[in-house]
């Protein structure tokens, strides 16, 4: 666990929340099925008390997980940080976009979405957040100068993520 995730986990635990940060399998060669299975294993039986925070490829993994839920299952909310919503030309990520995203099924599993993107992300243009606004009615927050919100960019805390998640809780 790196970047701002340890900070977010600690802040949420201070508020009394149980927080799980699963280590996704094969991060250098990610496979949609493996990532969705890891989320499913971590969550167990989903409920409206479950909230998700994803970063980058983790965002589409969360959405793909929501696609798998039975019709009656609902989760409380989702915060998507620098989320990739369509193929961006990186071969290792293309398997996450091999089939169309089932926006209708996702929206039935969750009603509260927030997309947080940076105005200077070198990988994910703001267009990706606008896809989430259009397809899921997501609230879009544009942060200034946060690049890809990565630890390698020096971000060990991202208060806007905590603020937006807290507004959903």
Q: Are strands 139-143 and 77-81 parallel, antiparallel or unpaired?
A: unpaired
Q: How far apart are CA 47 and CA 37, in angstroms?
A: 17
Contact 65, 39 (CB under 8 A): yes
Would you call 55 a catalytic residue per the annotation? no
Would you call 121 a catalytic residue per the annotation? yes
Angle at 133 between CA 129 and CA 135, to 5 degrees: 110
Q: Which of 56, 109, 118, 150 is catalytic?
A: 56
List beta partners, residue 113: 78
Q: Which of 109, 128, 148, 150 is catalytic?
A: 148
Would you call 144 a catalytic residue per the annotation? no
Q: What are phi and psi of 89, to 5 degrees?
A: 85, 15
Instruction: Look at the block and give the residue holding tokens 């609902």.
Output: 74
Q: Which of 50, 109, 118, 121 is catalytic?
A: 121
The closest of 28, 85, 29 to 54, measured between CA atoms, is 85
**Would you please indicate which residues are annotated as catalytic (active-site) residues?**
56, 121, 148
């Amino acid at each position: 666990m790196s970047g701002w995730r340890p900070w977010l986990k600690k802040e949420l635990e201070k508020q009394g929340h149980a927080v799980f940060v699963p280590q996704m399998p094969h991060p250098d060669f990610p496979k949609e099925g493996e990532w969705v299975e890891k989320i499913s294993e971590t969550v167990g039986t989903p409920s409206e008390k479950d909230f998700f925070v994803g970063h980058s490829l983790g965002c589409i993994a969360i959405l793909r997980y929501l696609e798998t839920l039975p019709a009656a299952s609902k989760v409380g909310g989702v915060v998507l940080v620098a989320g990739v919503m369509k193929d961006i030309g990186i071969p290792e990520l293309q398997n996450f976009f091999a089939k169309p995203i089932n926006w209708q099924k996702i929206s039935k599993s969750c009603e509260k979405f927030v997309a947080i993107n940076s105005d200077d992300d070198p990988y994910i243009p703001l267009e990706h957040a606008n896809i989430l606004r259009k397809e899921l009615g997501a609230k879009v927050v544009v942060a200034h100068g946060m690049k890809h919100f990565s630890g390698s960019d020096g971000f060990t805390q991202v208060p806007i993520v905590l603020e937006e998640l807290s507004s959903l809780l």
